[in-house]
Amino acid sequence: MKAAAAVARWFARTLAIVLLAIVGSTILVRLAPGYLSDAREIDSRYGDAVRAELSAEAARSGTLTHLLSAEFLGWMRGDGGVSRQYGVPVSELILPRLEVTGGLMLRGLVLAWTLALCTSLLSSAARKPSVLWQAPAALLLAVPTAAMATLCLLAGYGGPVLVMALLLSARDFKFLHHTLRKAWFDPHLLQARAQGIRTHRLIFGFVLPSVRSQVCALASLSIVTALSALVPVEVIFNVPGLGQLAWNAALNRDLPVLLSVTIIVALAVTLAGLASDRPGEWRSA
């Protein structure tokens, strides 16, 4: 019963987050300057009938109630509504790009965690902390994501996976170094090291199990950080993913597409929060 109640609470929280994302995104887009205007209305290539149709569309989109009802009906139909920019169901735009974005995030996360975990294990095991290990991470943290992507593009070296991996590994390294260093110098581990137990046995038998909950929490934060870097990375490198689609939708005030991407991101963040749950928390809730 306790586990069922925990699952019910999680679903209720997820539903509340999705509803708030829909309402909040709709209000922000509707109140954005120029939402009811369309550049095609002053284009001489369009006739009076087209301009009248655009004006009628703007009038229908004038209220938040109409916008919200239209978006909810689109999701009830299963297609997410019709894109204002492309004139096709949103699902046809989302599904192919979802695979591209998922692959980019997966490769970036794997490479980032490999770099961060290996370097933090080496740096944290030293007796005294060295600036040489901290300087690269601090430098990468000081460079904005868009600037890092632009530099890689201009240099002709690297790509979206490398930029995302460097961004995530720099953030994860700071936390992992501090956490692992504390674990390395616990009294029981110092005694194990003094007895001559091999390093790989110490890492897999003592160090990593002792920081498992902290690493799981950091994993969820890494996913959130990767989601926040999608737009600049995909736009600069011209990756046909969700980030580029959201950017184009924002420029063209394509509310159905923006809401769909927002809901996907909200669900991803909520699911990522499960990674920070301690083992057995669902059973003991």
Looking at the chain, the number of H-run helices and the number of E-run strands are 15, 0
Where do the structural domains in the chain lie, given as residue ranges?
2-73, 101-254+263-277
Kindly report the pTM of this predicted structure: 0.73
In our burial notation (b when 16+ CB lie closer than 10 A, e otherwise), range 90-126 reads bbebbeebbebbeebbebbbebbbebbbebbbebbbe
Superfamily for the 101-254+263-277 domain = MetI-like (1.10.3720.10)
User: Out of 54-58, 189-193, 238-242, which region has the weakest mean confidence (pLDDT)?
Assistant: 54-58
As a whole number of angstroms, the distance between CA 57 and CA 40 comes to 13
Please report, as a single letter, which amino acid is at residue 98.
L
Mean pLDDT of 244-272: 82
Do 22 and 69 contact (CB within 8 A), yes or no?
Answer: no
Do 269 and 32 contact (CB within 8 A), yes or no?
Answer: no
Which positions ≥6 away from 44 have C-beta within 8 Å?
A: none
Alpha-carbon separation of residue 45 from 49, 253, 260, 284 (angstroms): 12, 21, 32, 66
pLDDT at 280: 47
Q: Which letter does DSSP use for residue 11 in this model?
A: H
pLDDT tens across 111-156, in order? Answer: 998 888 888 888 876 667 667 777 888 888 888 888 888 888 888 7
Q: How confident is the model at residue 86 (pLDDT cuts 50, 70, 90)?
A: confident
Tell me: pLDDT of 187 over 80: no
Query: Which residue in the block uniquely carries the two structure tokens 């390093």?
Result: 199
Mean pLDDT of 214-220: 78
Q: What is the CA radius of gyration of the chain?
A: 24
User: Out of 9-13, 21-25, 189-193, which region has the weakest mean confidence (pLDDT)?
Assistant: 189-193
Tell me: pLDDT of 107 over 90: yes
pLDDT at 212: 75
Mean pLDDT of 229-240: 90
Which positions ≥6 away from 138 have C-beta within 8 Å?
A: 170
Q: How confident is the model at residue 106 (pLDDT cuts 50, 70, 90)?
A: very high
Please report, as a single letter, which amino acid is at residue 26.
T
